[in-house]
Amino acid sequence: MLCQIVEKAYQQTKNFDRLSFLYLATGSTDKLVKMQKIAEARGDPMSRFHNALYVGDVRSRIAVLREVGLRNYFTALVRESRDY
> Could you give all domains of the chain from N- to C-terminal order, each with its CATH number?
2-82 (1.25.40.470)
| Per-chain mean pLDDT for the chain | 88
Query: In terms of pLDDT, which residue wins out, 69 or 74?
Result: 69
Quote the pTM value.
0.78
Residue 53 has pLDDT above 80, yes or no: yes
- Give the CA distances from residue 64 to residues 3, 42, 45, 49, in Å, rounded to whole numbers and listed in that order: 30, 14, 6, 6
Q: At 75, is the pLDDT very low, low, confident or very high (cuts 50, 70, 90)? A: confident
Share above pLDDT 90 across residues of the chain, in percent, rounded to a whole number: 65
User: How buried is residue 51: exposed, middle or buried, by Cβ count under 10 Å (0-12/13-18/19+)?
Assistant: buried
Residue 69 has pLDDT above 90, yes or no: no
Per-residue pLDDT, averaged over 39-58, amounts to 94
Helical packing angle, 16-26 and 29-42, nearest 10°: 160
